[in-house]
């Protein structure tokens, strides 16, 4: 394929070397003439192991060349990758000047181009950037229509400095955000020979995936550092701790807890977060990430309450009271907290939870139910149909499969609020089902 790459910094230079090595004809474009001179001399403009050899190979085979002539590069290629920088502004927002400038250049050339051209954004951009910035500029400058006269896609990169070539050749996944199917097909053809899943999503989803991955990596580093600091303060080697923690691929390093939804609860997580952060404080060890966990958890309960309140209906059914399905454990259940908030605000609340109903009569939690939350347990109703019929708002609180059908088709005249992820699609305007995080 004939490819032009705009921006020969870290991402652009690596992509130019790797794509030319795989047999594509690549034109590297940059406003800095010194970078272009280095590329054309087969030298790397950045320090990255193995990149110089790839660039030199590309020049020698004629598969790679550099230019400062934007128009020529666009006319001579079928696909353009935008790899320019998106640095931070003082307020933390992204600076999009470079993106905007490149899009204008591409758009003006597309005005005269008769063959279909595909524009791919590899620069890291926040969700909505392509829809609200890139496409409007391209359409305005070209006089053409995205998805009809030219293609648009997002292809976030996951390249680590010092291992970028290996990361390119052996990625964990390739993410394609496509404005139209034809654009996704063109981009997919570049990666089909790689031994990795190709994931095609809407553009905004792909934009968000990139940020989510990077912020998750930052969170992991910070988490490990805070655990290490606390471990050292109590005479333990934090490296030894985290080495064992990472051996658990069932829970610790898995997707089990990585699902958006309602707050965590139960007999372990809240108690242990509080205990460890208390110990850190008593040792004068700063742990701002760990200290934020309970506050964040509480805000998710508030988020659920705010959604209920937004519907301005007073008769509410809460399906589920224990912190998760298949248990009667009410200790630290965020659903109990939500129920207490609703009661406190005067809502007409009815609760269904077959496990808690059983425990109220027979179980080990009977004393807890009667002594700690009698005001909540008095609202339990064992008649599921009655709870549904006498409500205007239905909250799906835990993953009891009995509740799933309500998310798929909300009862007529009722609003369903899904806290657990039963909905097959995201919330849409005017829908009678609403997800807490989707």
Q: Which residues contact 149 (CB under 8 A, 6 or more apart)?
A: 110, 116, 142
Of 114, 108, 113, 101, residue with least CA distance to 142 = 108
Of 97, 21, 104, 99, residue with least CA distance to 70 = 104
Query: Exposed e or buried b for every residue in 166-179, given b needs 16+ CB within 10 A?
Result: ebbeebeebbbbbb
CA distances from 274 to 284, 298, 301, 377 (A): 15, 13, 18, 26
d(CA 391, CA 376): 17
Of 391, 411, 311, residue with least CA distance to 351 = 391
Find out whether 256 and 250 touch, Cβ atoms under 8 Å: yes
Phi, psi of 417 (to 5 degrees): -115, 115
Beta-bridge partners for 25 = 2
- What 301-304 contacts at long range (C-beta under 8 Å, 24+ apart), as own/partner pairs, is 301/262, 301/263, 301/334, 301/337, 301/338, 301/341, 302/341, 303/436, 304/262, 304/263, 304/338, 304/395, 304/417, 304/419, 304/436
d(CA 228, CA 238): 4
Helix (H) or strand (E) holding 64, with range, is strand 64-67
Give the CA dihedral 174, 177, 178, 183, nearest 10 degrees.
-40
**Catalytic entry in 83, 103, 268, 437:** 268
Helix axes 269-282, 288-310, angle to 10 degrees: 140
Phi, psi of 154 (to 5 degrees): -120, 140
Of 86, 186, 78, 70, residue with least CA distance to 133 = 86
Find out whether 396 and 320 touch, Cβ atoms under 8 Å: yes
Could you say which DSSP state residue 154 is in? Answer: E
Find out whether 162 and 10 touch, Cβ atoms under 8 Å: no
Q: Based on the residue annotation, tell me whether 268 is a catalytic residue of this protein.
A: yes
Q: What would you report as the CA-atom Rg of the chain, rounded to the nearest whole angstrom? A: 27
Catalytic residues: 268
């Amino acid at each position: 394929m004939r490819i032009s790459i705009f921006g020969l910094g870290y991402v652009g230079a690596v992509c130019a070397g790797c794509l030319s090595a795989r047999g594509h004809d690549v034109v590297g474009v940059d406003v800095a003439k010194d970078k272009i001179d280095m590329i054309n001399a087969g030298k790397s403009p950045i320090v990255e192991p193995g990149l110089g050899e790839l660039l030199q190979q590309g020049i020698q085979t004629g598969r790679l060349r550099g230019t400062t002539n934007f128009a020529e590069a666009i006319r001579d290629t079928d696909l353009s990758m935008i790899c320019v920088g998106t640095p931070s502004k003082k307020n933390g927002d992204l600076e999009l000047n470079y993106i905007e400038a490149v899009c204008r250049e591409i758009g003006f050339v597309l005005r005269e181009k008769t063959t279909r051209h595909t524009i791919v954004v590899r620069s890291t951009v926040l969700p909505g950037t392509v829809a609200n910035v890139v496409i409007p500029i391209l359409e305005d400058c070209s006089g053409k229509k995205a998805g009809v006269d030219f293609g648009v896609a997002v292809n976030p990169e996951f390249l680590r400095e010092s291992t970028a070539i290996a990361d390119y050749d052996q990625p964990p996944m390739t993410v394609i955000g496509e404005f139209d199917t034809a654009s996704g097909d063109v981009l997919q053809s570049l990666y089909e020979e790689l031994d990795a899943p190709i994931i095609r999503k809407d553009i905004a989803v792909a934009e968000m995936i990139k940020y989510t991955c990077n912020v998750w990596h930052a969170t992991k580093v910070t988490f490990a550092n805070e655990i290490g600091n606390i471990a050292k303060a109590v005479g333990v080697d934090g490296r030894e701790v985290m080495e064992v923690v990472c051996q658990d691929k069932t829970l610790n390093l898995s997707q089990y807890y990585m699902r958006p939804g309602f707050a965590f609860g139960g007999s372990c997580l809240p108690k242990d977060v509080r205990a460890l952060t208390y110990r850190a404080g008593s040792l004068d060890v700063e742990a701002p990430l760990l200290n934020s966990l309970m506050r964040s958890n509480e805000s998710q309960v508030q988020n659920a309450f705010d959604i209920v309140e937004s519907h301005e209906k007073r008769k509410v059914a809460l399906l589920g009271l224990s912190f998760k399905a298949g248990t009667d454990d009410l200790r630290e259940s965020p659903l109990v907290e939500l129920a207490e908030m609703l009661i406190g605000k005067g809502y007409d609340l009815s609760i269904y939870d077959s496990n808690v109903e059983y425990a109220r009569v027979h179980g080990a939690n009977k004393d807890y139910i009667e002594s700690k939350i009698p005001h909540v347990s008095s609202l339990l109703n064992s008649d599921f149909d009655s709870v549904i019929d006498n409500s205007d708002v239905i909250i799906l609180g835990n993953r009891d499969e009995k509740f799933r059908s309500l998310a798929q088709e909300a009862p007529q005249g009722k609003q369903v609020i899904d806290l657990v992820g039963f909905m097959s699609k995201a919330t849409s305007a005017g829908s009678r089902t609403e997800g807490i995080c989707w």
